[in-house]
A = this chain, B = another copy of it.
Amino acid sequence: MINKYIETLQKHGLKRTPKRLEVLRILSEESAYISPQKLHVLLKEKFLKIGLPTVYRILQQFQNIGIVTSIQQDDNQLYYYLCDCVEKHHHFICRKCHKVSCLTYCDFDNIKQLVADQLDSLAETHVLQIEGLCKECLES
């Protein structure tokens, strides 16, 4: 599954560097969203020298080529997670354990029509963030 991401990297002219590969590995083993700071700590377990700017650069590049998504929490910080789905969909985020789950749902076509009808305007993009408690956190 990592291979698919590596292809995407090369398709966008990004070199296959050890740091980038390790970021992919960490993110693919992580089911929760993660802060650049925490990712930096995890990367330092493998690399003696890795700067926070590199972490930020990699995450932004990955976001640009569509392999990670960012969310902004109430603490005014960015968090990132990896999503390998291709179809249009949204994510459910557990407010306790921060796990991210794909939800087969997107109502954008309907929204576009409503925006046209009600406001004579053109809806181009939308962001939907759904939060709550995941199955495990509900049970514990």
Task: State the A residues within 8 Å of B (CB).
Answer: 72, 76, 78, 92, 94-95, 101, 103-105, 107, 111, 114-115, 118-135, 138
> Which of B78, B118, B123, B131 lies in contact with A76, CB distance below 8 A?
B78
Q: How many copies does the complex hold?
A: 2
Q: Is the pair B128, A127 in contact by a Cβ cutoff of 8 Å?
A: yes
Q: Is the pair B115, A132 in contact by a Cβ cutoff of 8 Å?
A: yes
Residue contacts A-B, CB under 8 angstroms, 10 given: A101-B121, A103-B115, A103-B118, A121-B133, A123-B131, A124-B133, A125-B130, A126-B129, A127-B128, A128-B128
User: With A and B bound together, what is the CA distance between A129 and B129 in angstroms?
Assistant: 9
Q: Is the pair B121, A138 in contact by a Cβ cutoff of 8 Å?
A: yes
